[in-house]
Amino acid sequence: MGFVNATVHDPADAASDFAHALAQGEQVRFAFRLIRDTILFTDKRILMIDVQGLTGTKKRYLTIPYRAITTFTIESAGHFDLDSELTLTISGSPPIELQLSRGADVPGLVTLLTERLAR
Domains and CATH numbers, the chain: 4-117 (2.30.29.50)
Phi, psi of 18 (to 5 degrees): -120, 30
- Reported as a single tens digit per residue, the pLDDT across 27-50 is 999 999 988 899 999 999 999 999
CB 10 within 8 A of CB 33: no
Residues 48, 64: Cα–Cα separation, whole Å: 8
Confidence of residue 112 (pLDDT cuts 50, 70, 90): very high
Please say if the pLDDT value at position 97 is more than 60: yes
* Residue 5: per-residue pLDDT: 82
Average pLDDT value for residue range 65-80: 86
Q: Can you tell me whether residue 67 is helix, strand or coil?
A: helix
Q: Using CA of residue 79, residue 83, residue 89, residue 93, what is the dihedral sign?
A: negative
* Residue 57: per-residue pLDDT: 84
